[in-house]
Amino acid sequence: EPEVTQTPSHQVTQMGQEVILRCVPISNHLYFYWYRQILGQKVEFLVSFYNNEISEKSEIFDDQFSVERPDGSNFTLKIRSTKLEDSAMYFCASLRPGTSGGMSETQYFGPGTRLLVL
Amino acid sequence: DAKTTQPNSMESNEEEPVHLPCNHSTISGTDYIHWYRQLPSQGPEYVIHGLTSNVNNRMASLAIAEDRKSSTLILHRATLRDAAVYYCILRRVRGQNFVFGPGTRLSVLP
């Protein structure tokens, strides 16, 4: 069964450095998402992306964050200047279109990237 | 998004059925009821979803109350691999992101 993949699985960075987290969504999916989960806390929505633009974003997704789909397969999350509080698991998800042309409701999540900011 | 309420934790014995409840008294007519689970150190995984009728798939069953103000996820025979946090989430038909609550942490005892 096709699955969402994410790289790297772990990343350690210094505060203030830029990081890019990469995701390869399932190939026929059209909607893409980033979520994060701080250790011991709930999964939080960051941003959704459709038709090459952001469709929705949360308060967490400030100017330090950006997303891109540079080549039609990868979907990336960039954090420009990391802070200690950015340490978390970051999950990418994608959603497949419904068979009737409408939007299927099932999101498929990747295994996550564990980001540690020192 | 409408809010859901779930117990913080539940325990079950291996090979016994598990009923995980979810209350969603402010659900609207177009909200789908979704269940996801998160195994330790993994991303959320789709379990099942429904709108009004009960649903069955290879993983679980979803029983939806007639007034839709509550639902129950049923695992027919719990295994140790079913130990996870289970999330009940409401989503509009053309909604975008999921809003995750704290979920129910299910422990399965051998």
Render pLDDT for B68-85 as a digit per residue (tens, 0 to 9). 999 999 999 999 999 999
For B92, the closest chain A residue by CA position comes to A105
**pLDDT > 90: what percent of chain B?**
74
Write out residues 60-89 of A within 8 Å (CB-CB) of B. none
DSSP codes joined into one string, B58-70: SS-EEEE-TTSSE
Which pLDDT band holds residue A101 (cuts at 50, 70, 90)?
A: very low
Please list, in sequence order, all residues whose beta carbon lies within 8 angstroms of the beta carbon of residue A83, skipping any fewer than 6 positions away: A15, A64, A117
- Tell if the CB–CB gap between A105 and B99 is shorter than 8 Å: no
- Tell if the CB–CB gap between B102 and A42 is shorter than 8 Å: yes
* Interface list for chain B against chain A, based on CB atoms closer than 8 Å: 32, 34, 38, 42-46, 49, 87, 91, 93-94, 96-103
- Best A21, A36, A50, A107 residue to mutate vs chain B (most B CBs within 10 Å): A107
pLDDT for position B28: 86
Name the residue type at position A38.
Answer: I
- Asked if A32 has any chain B CB less than 8 Å from its own CB, the reply is no
Residues from chain A that touch B49, judged by Cβ atoms under 8 A, are: 105-106
Which pLDDT band holds residue A53 (cuts at 50, 70, 90)?
A: very high
Q: State the average pLDDT for chain B.
A: 91
- Best B97, B100, B104, B105 residue to mutate vs chain A (most A CBs within 10 Å): B97
Please list, in sequence order, all residues whose beta carbon lies within 8 angstroms of the beta carbon of residue A101, skipping any fewer than 6 positions away: none
pLDDT for position A100: 52
Q: Which long-range contacts (CB under 8 A, 24 or more apart) does B80-84 make?
A: B80/B14, B80/B108, B80/B110, B81/B39, B82/B18, B82/B37, B82/B106, B82/B108, B83/B39, B83/B40, B83/B107, B83/B108, B84/B37, B84/B38, B84/B39, B84/B40
Integer Cα distance of A98 and B78 in angstroms = 31
Which of A74-78, B6-10, B22-26, B27-31 shows the lowest per-residue confidence on average (mean pLDDT)?
B27-31
For A40, the closest chain B residue by CA position comes to B102
Which pLDDT tens digit goes with each residue over B31-54? 889 999 999 989 999 999 998 999
- Asked if A94 has any chain B CB less than 8 Å from its own CB, the reply is no
pLDDT for position A65: 97
Which of A35-39, A50-54, A95-99, A104-108 shows the lowest per-residue confidence on average (mean pLDDT)?
A95-99
Chain B nearest C-alpha distance from A106 (Å): 7
Strand blocks (E) in chain A: 5-7, 10-13, 19-24, 31-37, 44-50, 53-57, 65-68, 75-79, 88-97, 103-109, 113-117
